[in-house]
Structure 1
């Protein structure tokens, strides 16, 4: 009868010690391999993160250093000047990086020089436009005044991510470039049912509808200009110039809000929705400009 079990002799103490040492050596080697693998993965992860950070910084720099784009025709002053008969004063387009050329005001005071800096999302601009557009048009049409409209986009971040201010300023430049004598009507159309600040604003298709509402006969080139954002860079540049100043032929150093309304270089600070108060300011500003001549015809409040 046998008791079962191995017939091999039991390991000696030295053999057990060597086996333990070998096992410990194998464990240490496995740990070293694991440490090297983790180190490699960690370094690789840091490298990928560094590459991602560099890429993000490069993108930010690329976006902040925009290539200068050409400006629209008929806006060499950063605005569009409209005179007697509602005819636009035509100017050649600014080349990329070229400085604007300020319009020369009438120094006699016989023609009121009205300049308006507007953002098409600005509710106060809408209030001023709806109250004063008709009488300004009457003055300009008769030759008693000129109006120079400067679209800027200071509320670009206030339209739920759609950049409506920038898109509408670009659209205004498109109309100035391709159909300048329809600009005043288009400018007014953008304030009819004006979208609220903080809303997405108008879509490009809705802006194109405003172009048609303004009576533009051929809209093909303008529609493409709106979709392509042809004058996006220019619209951003004119906004920066208005905010940083100086504002030529003006007592105002820089635009700090919209609307900024100037008459013969003097800023209007009265009620935006009172056409009689604005008309009185126009008369006063014109009267301070001339000494001997009397303006004919004289701006008068719209009835």
Structure 2
């Protein structure tokens, strides 16, 4: 039997020293973990604070958008189309100014339509009545006043189609007002489904080109170029947001409505149409009824009372 030397059997002091070293290593490792976690926590807090600040800044800047001038020919926040489908010429709404309601002529009913170009019910109304509306406006039997608004901006897979389409309509109103009715009709003829991306800006420009016709209204297509740039730049997006806010939060001019609650909202003079969206005969009867009632209430006797609204 051989006795063990110092190498094979650590002394009591050596074991104590080894224990101290191990404890020190554990403490150092814990301090490093604590420091790392502190850094991560502070970094996370900084990122969270930055995100909150960015969010608050976006909300504030959105809520206090600097006012901008509106498009020409939309002084009422809408464009009035009359005889030969020509638009009433008006100056632009100055930045920060209020729109001017369209004056109602008792002899010529004004059909005012608040539309969102992504709204499927608006599409149904247009498909049922656009030909009739075109006939009335072209013959001078009635005027048709379109108010493009954007209440479905968040329902186009992130592309803000409602806002972009209304901006495009404002661009056409500004640069080629007499093509507005056709442009608006084309947007509904090829209306995207709610929840899809909708037409791109290039496609909106192509629709404008079709509305303007092959001549593009001026040599070299300068009008179309101006419209395309206006669409690409989103020139009237802020105005669309402002006019949408006015329509959906303020009393509707020349009516008893507290606000526009949805689209389409259709008014004939100051009366809201609440009948069938898809029955053109019912709508025609309503227009004739309101036109006769407006004339009867007017003191004007210069023109005979309307007795017939030709069918589209």
The TM-score with structure 1 as length reference comes to: 0.85
Aligned-CA RMSD value: 2.9
Give the Cα–Cα distance (whole angstroms) in 1 for the partners of residues 124 and 310 of structure 2.
17
Q: Deviations over 1:174-198 (max 9, x none)?
A: 0000011111111111111322222
Partner SS, residue 232 of structure 2 = helix
- Higher-Rg member (1/2): 1
Query: Are the structure 2 counterparts of residues 278 and 49 from structure 1 closer, same or farther at C-alpha, using a change threshold of 3 Å?
Result: closer
1:209 to 2:230 alignment: no
Query: Are the structure 2 counterparts of residues 18 and 235 from structure 1 closer, same or farther at C-alpha, using a change threshold of 3 Å?
Result: same
Q: Deviations over 1:270-290 (max 9, x none)?
A: 112222211111111111112
- How many residue pairs get aligned? The number is 297
Query: Are the structure 2 counterparts of residues 298 and 195 from structure 1 closer, same or farther at C-alpha, using a change threshold of 3 Å?
Result: farther
* Residue number in structure 2 paired with 1:238: 243
- Aligned partner (choices 184, 190, 193) of residue 187 of structure 1: 184
The TM-score with structure 2 as length reference comes to: 0.83
* Residue number in structure 2 paired with 1:257: 262
Q: CA deviation at 1:35?
A: 6.7
Give the Cα–Cα distance (whole angstroms) in 2 for the partners of residues 276 and 295 of structure 1.
23
Partner SS, residue 199 of structure 1 = coil
Q: Deviations over 1:88-112 (max 9, x none)?
A: 2212112222221211112xx2111
Query: Are the structure 2 counterparts of residues 179 and 31 from structure 1 closer, same or farther at C-alpha, using a change threshold of 3 Å?
Result: same
Partner SS, residue 283 of structure 1 = helix
Give the Cα–Cα distance (whole angstroms) in 1 for the partners of residues 139 and 306 of structure 2.
7
1:267 to 2:267 alignment: no
Single out whichever of 139-148 and 22-31 deviates more from structure 2.
22-31
* Residue number in structure 2 paired with 1:99: 98
Q: CA deviation at 1:31?
A: 6.3
Give the Cα–Cα distance (whole angstroms) in 1 for the partners of residues 15 and 201 of structure 2.
83
Single out whichever of 286-295 and 218-227 deviates more from structure 2.
286-295
* Residue number in structure 1 paired with 2:110: 113
1:72-221 matches, cutoff 5 A? 72-106=71-105, 109-216=106-213, 217=216, 218-221=223-226
Q: CA deviation at 1:221?
A: 0.4
The 8 Å contact of residues 119 and 151 in structure 1, kept in 2 or not, is answered as: yes
Give the Cα–Cα distance (whole angstroms) in 1 for the partners of residues 14 and 192 of structure 2.
87
Q: CA deviation at 1:79?
A: 0.3
Structure 2 segments unaligned to the other structure (5+ residues): 217-222
Give the Cα–Cα distance (whole angstroms) in 2 for the partners of residues 298 and 58 of structure 1.
58
